[in-house]
């Protein structure tokens, strides 16, 4: 809660508990839960430089009984919604203070992106949706200053921290998009804040995966909100207009937007173009990029260089897609590992957009595996589609690729799901692919 409402909070507490021991116990419970959550969030922060006092604080923390995330979640959900809002508001304010302190140059510490995601996760079951959107907007308002400070400090986090955090913010805003667009002022703040994060992007086909997600959401906001088009007609014009495929048949309102909004046209052509599944059957190299696929988070990766290697050679793309899918289906199916492989694949797809059709093609080959005309025979000869043990892992992998804008859910439904289910019929040999289709689609 903000300071202006503290009096009302005190009055509410007095009405519920009086002025005796019961009120003090209720206050203590809220303070204890808030303190425990802050302990978890402050256990490890993104540190720019070492500070002497931090070592002493760490030793103190080791001596105290450390709360578990599950216990804190349970205690929080037992509170009333009002008290949950109060706790989550205090926690979000604490994180915002850390970010503003770093942005002003008075601190060297930033909260980790997954800790901010944890706060989002606390606010959702508390139904603090308005507070959730406000928190996301306040974060966006600080990110351009944070990025400037990271560049000033020559930090290794420059270029990755703000865009990575923006992916979490965009995910929340997409989930509550219908709530956001009810408030034009909030929508305008979100649009302006996201534009500030990706204003350096010259070509949407040459950007990172987080930047691709941000551009896609900016496009969705722009085409769905007329007040944004009138207010920010010039803000999103950093991309020179591309007039390819101008004879393409499209709705009048889309043509008008393209004429008015040059960047919108470029984003549409790059990210929202219709992806056609590839039916590749090239020479397969079973060792190609396996070091990266098996351990994608253990090394510093030059995605631009790898993207060029894939762009220049169709056989390399085929081998990479085959090796990745086989690894997801037949390797250790740990959720964290699947997530790492999917993020790695998403980054490469952002650098090599031709991969989109390859991913869609291999998915179609698996889901329509009874018909061997869709290519990727090396995958079909190795992976048994009727084996249910890997279906959840593959569904998770595909869901992340869709969320990271590698291809759209509409493309998958049109080119993969419907043909697979229609072909299943009564033939037992075709039910494995149909089952796989149902498993991944049920995740949405």
Q: Is 293 exposed, middle or buried (0-12, 13-18, 19+ CB in 10 A)?
A: buried
Tell me, yes or no, whether 56 lies in a domain: no
Last residue of a domain, one of 242, 261, 276: 242
Nearest residue to 113 (alpha-carbon basis) of 163, 54, 57, 172: 163
Q: Are residues 100 and 8 in the same domain?
A: yes
Residue 33 tokens read as 């839960």
* For the chain, counts of helices (H) and of strands (E): 24, 2
Task: Tell me whether residue 106 is in a domain.
Answer: yes
Residues 214 and 137 grouped into a single domain: yes
**In the chain, % of residues over pLDDT 70:** 81
Q: Are residues 103 and 170 in the same domain?
A: yes
Model confidence pLDDT, tens digit, residues 403-424: 999 998 888 888 888 887 777 6
Domain boundary residue, one of 227, 242, 257: 242
Is there a single domain that holds both residue 173 and residue 317?
A: no
> What pLDDT was estimated at residue 439?
52
Q: How far apart are CA 291 and CA 235, in angstroms?
A: 42
Residue 284 lies in a domain: no
Q: How far is CA 51 from CA 86, 108, 109, 161, in A?
A: 32, 9, 10, 21
> Are both 128 and 192 inside the same structural domain?
yes
Residues 384, 363: Cα–Cα separation, whole Å: 13
268 occurs within a structural domain? no
Tokens (6 digits) for 219: 């496009």
Q: Is residue 369 domain-resident? A: yes
User: For the chain, what percentages of helix, strand and coil (3-state, to nearest 5) are there?
Assistant: 70, 0, 30
Q: Quote the CA–CA distance of 62 and 66 in Å, as a whole number.
A: 8
Looking at the fold, whether 181 and 72 belong to one and the same domain comes out as yes
Nearest Cα neighbor of 367 from 340, 398, 337, 342 is 398
In a domain, 112, yes or no: yes
Q: 242, 273, 300 — which closes off a domain?
A: 242
CB atoms within 10 A of CB 377: 14
More confident of the two residues 423 and 87: 87
Q: What is the mean pLDDT of residues 251-256?
A: 39
Say whether both 212 and 303 belong to one domain: no
Which are the contacts of 181, defined by CB distance < 8 A and separation ≥ 6? 187, 221, 224, 225
282 assigned to some structural domain: no
Q: Domain containing 395: what range?
A: 290-443
DSSP β-ladder status, 46-47 and 109-110: antiparallel
The model's pTM:
0.80
For the segment 351-361, what is each residue's pLDDT rounded down to a tens digit? 999 999 999 99
The number of domains in the chain is 2
Out of 6-15, 53-62, 364-373, least confident range: 53-62
C-beta of residue 207 within 8 angstroms of C-beta of residue 218: no
With H, G, I as helix, E, B as strand and everything else as coil, classify residue 107.
coil
Chain mean position to CA 366:
26
pLDDT at 442: 52
Please indicate, yes or no, whether residues 24 and 148 belong to a single structural domain of this protein: yes
pLDDT for 18 equals 79
Q: 59 pLDDT exceeds 50?
A: no
Residue 192 pLDDT greater than 70, yes or no: yes
Quickly count: other Cβ atoms within 10 Å of residue 233's Cβ.
12
> Residue 17 is encoded by which pair of tokens?
């508990």
In a domain, 52, yes or no: no
């Amino acid at each position: 809660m903000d300071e202006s409402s503290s009096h009302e909070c005190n009055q509410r507490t007095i009405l519920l508990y009086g002025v005796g021991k019961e009120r003090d116990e209720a206050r203590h419970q809220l303070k204890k839960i808030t303190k425990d959550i802050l302990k978890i969030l402050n256990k490890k922060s993104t540190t720019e430089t070492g500070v002497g006092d931090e070592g002493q604080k760490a030793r103190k923390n080791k001596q105290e009984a450390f709360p578990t995330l599950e216990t804190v979640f349970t205690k929080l959900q037992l509170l009333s919604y009002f008290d949950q809002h109060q706790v989550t508001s205090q926690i979000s304010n604490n994180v915002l203070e850390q970010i503003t302190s770093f942005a002003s140059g008075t601190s060297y510490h930033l909260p980790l992106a997954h800790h901010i995601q944890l706060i989002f996760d606390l606010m959702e079951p508390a139904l603090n949706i308005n507070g959730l959107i406000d928190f996301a907007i306040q974060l966006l308002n600080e990110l351009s200053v944070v990025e400037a400070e990271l560049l000033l400090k020559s930090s290794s986090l420059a270029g990755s921290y703000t865009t990575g955090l923006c992916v979490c913010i965009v995910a929340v805003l997409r989930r509550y998009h219908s709530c956001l667009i009810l408030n034009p002022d909030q929508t305008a703040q979100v649009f302006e804040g996201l534009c500030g994060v990706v204003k350096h992007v010259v070509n949407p086909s040459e950007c990172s995966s987080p930047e691709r997600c941000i551009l896609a959401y900016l496009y969705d906001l722009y085409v769905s909100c007329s007040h944004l088009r009138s207010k920010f007609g010039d803000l999103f014009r950093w991309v020179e207009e591309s007039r390819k495929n101008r004879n393409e048949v499209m709705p009048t309102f889309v043509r008008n937007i393209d004429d008015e909004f040059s960047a919108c046209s470029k984003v549409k052509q790059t990210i929202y173009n219709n992806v056609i599944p590839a039916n590749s059957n090239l020479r397969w190299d079973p060792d190609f990029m396996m070091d990266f696929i098996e351990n994608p988070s253990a090394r510093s990766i030059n995605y631009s260089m790898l993207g060029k290697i894939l762009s220049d050679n169709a056989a390399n793309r085929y081998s990479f897609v085959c090796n990745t899918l086989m690894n997801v289906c037949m390797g250790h199916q740990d959720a964290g590992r699947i997530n790492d492989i999917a993020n790695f694949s998403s980054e490469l797809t952002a650098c090599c957009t031709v991969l989109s059709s390859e991913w869609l093609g291999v998915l179609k080959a698996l889901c329509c595996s009874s018909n061997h005309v869709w290519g990727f025979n090396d995958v079909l000869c190795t992976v048994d589609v009727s084996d249910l043990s890997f279906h959840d892992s593959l569904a998770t992998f595909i869901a992340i690729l869709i969320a990271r804008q590698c291809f759209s859910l509409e493309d998958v439904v049109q080119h993969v799901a419907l043909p697979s289910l229609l072909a299943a019929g009564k033939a037992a040999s075709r039910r494995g692919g149909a089952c796989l289709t149902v498993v991944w689609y049920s995740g949405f």
